[in-house]
Homo-oligomer: A and B are copies of this chain.
Amino acid sequence: MKLGEGVEAAIHCAATLASVDGNSTMPGAALAKCFGLSPSYLLKHLNQLTAARILESVPGPAGGYRLARPAERITLLDIVLAVEGREPAFRCGEIRQRGPVKIDASAYVKPCGINAAMLKAERAYRAALAEVKLSDIVADYAAEGDPRAFAASCAFVERHQRPQKSAPPKQI
């Protein structure tokens, strides 16, 4: 079981965007530089976040990304599912009916018990992720993290964020 690196990048970027002012945006290139990531590849992930309506994007100069809704209503699960996809980690291939033991298809209408157990565990995983809000991550970072690192991060955001003419994101 393995999560792609994109997940870490996506969460850090979202947490960073949580501290931009109002309706300002931050360019993807700045986010990439902030974490030493490949810009072209990070854009792929930011795009997935945009498609999932976790981020909003503004084109043009002075454009960039911002959160599509307040950090209180974005969970780690939202981000993980957006980047990794919504399919469960365990995919039942129904190998129980792939050998010579196979019987009539009517014998396999009930879902495989193994699959059920694996999916139940994954629900527990997702439930735990759903309990963590992006605002929790940011608050923890501000409270528990080193003040110097926090200050440096804020300064970076301050330096790269860009105010917008257009309307701020609707608080649905």
Contact = CB atoms under 8 A, between A and B. Distances in A.
A107 B159 CA distance: 21
Interface string A90-111: 1111011111111110111110
A110 B9 contact: no
A11 interface: yes
A93 B8 contact: yes
A148 interface: yes
A96 B35 contact: yes
A62 interface: no
A21 interface: no
Contact of A99 (B33, B89, B137): B33
A47 to B, nearest CB: 19
Report copies per complex.
Answer: 2
A93 B5 contact: yes
A30 to B, nearest CB: 10
A152 B142 CA distance: 61
A7 to B, nearest CB: 7
A152 B101 contact: yes
Interface in A104-131: 104, 106-110, 113-114, 117-118, 120-122, 124-129
Given A8-B114, A110-B145, A95 B3 contact: no
Given A76-B117, A127-B124, A12 B110 contact: no
Given A121-B125, A128-B120, A110 B146 contact: yes
